[in-house]
Amino acid sequence: MLYQLFAIIAPVFICAAFGIVWARMRLPFDNESVTSLVTLIGTPALVFGTLVGLELSVDSLLRLGAGSAIISAVTAGAVMPVLFLWRKSQRAFLPALMFPNVGNIGLPLCLFAFGQEGLALGISYFTVQAVVMFTIGNGIASGQIGLSSLTRNPIIYAVVAALVCIFAKIPVAEWIIDTADLLGGMCIPLLLMTLGVSLAKLRLSNLVDSLGMAAVRLVVGFGAGLFTAWLVGASEMETGILLLMSSMPVAIFPYLFAVRYNREPETIAGCVIVSTVLGFLTMPGLLYLVLELSGKAG
């Protein structure tokens, strides 16, 4: 079991560590270009190729998508009173506590823990969270919710195209799937490298608040995942994916929202760093529980 946990965590940790070392050595890394490459090409290709390349239950994909939306809502409902009692800004901290890092960390863990089927279910979760984060999450931080960003997001079109092929039973040529797999293959290592580079560039501020917020993110996220798995009647593997994704640390994008709209970015950066460290420290225990619940423990 220990080797199984190590085999899942090690690739994630090593790839992220390469990013940290890369940044510390001051080697060139154009974060904006890499992020654009992953967002505009890598992730849409990964989404399309994974969804159409596997024989998956549509019900499972829909349950994971619905579960993602429910977890975001449950998490928001749970943390808003906490922020009110702590007298913290909802616009600054609510997006950080609502949205875990399911892209950079969650998707690789789904792949290594559950294989291609787990990755496909994780993508369903990730896609819905991306929609909610870039509409409601960005709207909370800015004070104005808009849908215009969705029309410019190629991930949405990749999901729609994949769902049309799945529901209409349209056969997809093997060369198209191979091309999507080839382009999507760059996505996960670049996501982890980008995470490492981003963490190396962030600066820790206000340790007490960061620790408190990080603990809330991990604990409330796990509780929301457990409740949602029961609510939607998730299978063992679906429960594992929901718990894994909902228990991830603070995502990078809420920090970018905080910088853009000047919502205490220094403290949010601290939340990202501390929650990521805590996330890696608690990851063996989380994975052990997830694998036991999903029947995948070796």
- What's the pLDDT band for 277 if we cut at 50, 70, 90? very high
Indicate if the pLDDT at residue 119 is higher than 80: yes
Looking from the CA of 95 toward its CB, the CA atoms found within 13 Å total 31
Residue 195 CA to residue 41 CA, distance in Å, equals 18
pTM: 0.91
Average pLDDT, the chain: 91
User: What pLDDT score does 149 carry?
Assistant: 65
User: What pLDDT score does 163 carry?
Assistant: 87
Mean pLDDT over residues 55-70, rounded? 91
Taken in order of first residue, the domains within the chain and their CATH numbers are 2-293 (1.20.1530.20)
Cα end-to-end span (Å), the chain: 6
Ramachandran angles phi, psi of 259, nearest 5°: -65, -45
Q: 38-63: string of b/e by CB count within 10 Å (b at 16+)?
A: bbeebbbbbbbbbbbbeebeeebbeb
Mean pLDDT over residues 112-126, rounded? 93
- What's the pLDDT band for 146 if we cut at 50, 70, 90? low
Structure-block tokens of residue 12: 């994630």
Residue 128 and residue 103 in contact, taking contact as beta carbons nearer than 8 Å: no
User: What pLDDT score does 39 carry?
Assistant: 86
Indicate if the pLDDT at residue 152 is higher than 80: no
pLDDT tens per residue, range 219-272: 999 999 999 999 999 999 999 999 999 999 999 989 988 988 899 888 899 999
The amino acid at 287: L
Residue 165 and residue 53 in contact, taking contact as beta carbons nearer than 8 Å: no
Indicate if the pLDDT at residue 148 is higher than 80: no
Mean pLDDT over residues 122-148, rounded? 87
pLDDT tens per residue, range 19-50: 999 999 999 998 888 888 988 899 999 999 99
Question: Pick from 62, 68, 67, 110: which is nearest to 294 by CA?
Answer: 110
Residue 175 CA to residue 221 CA, distance in Å, equals 39
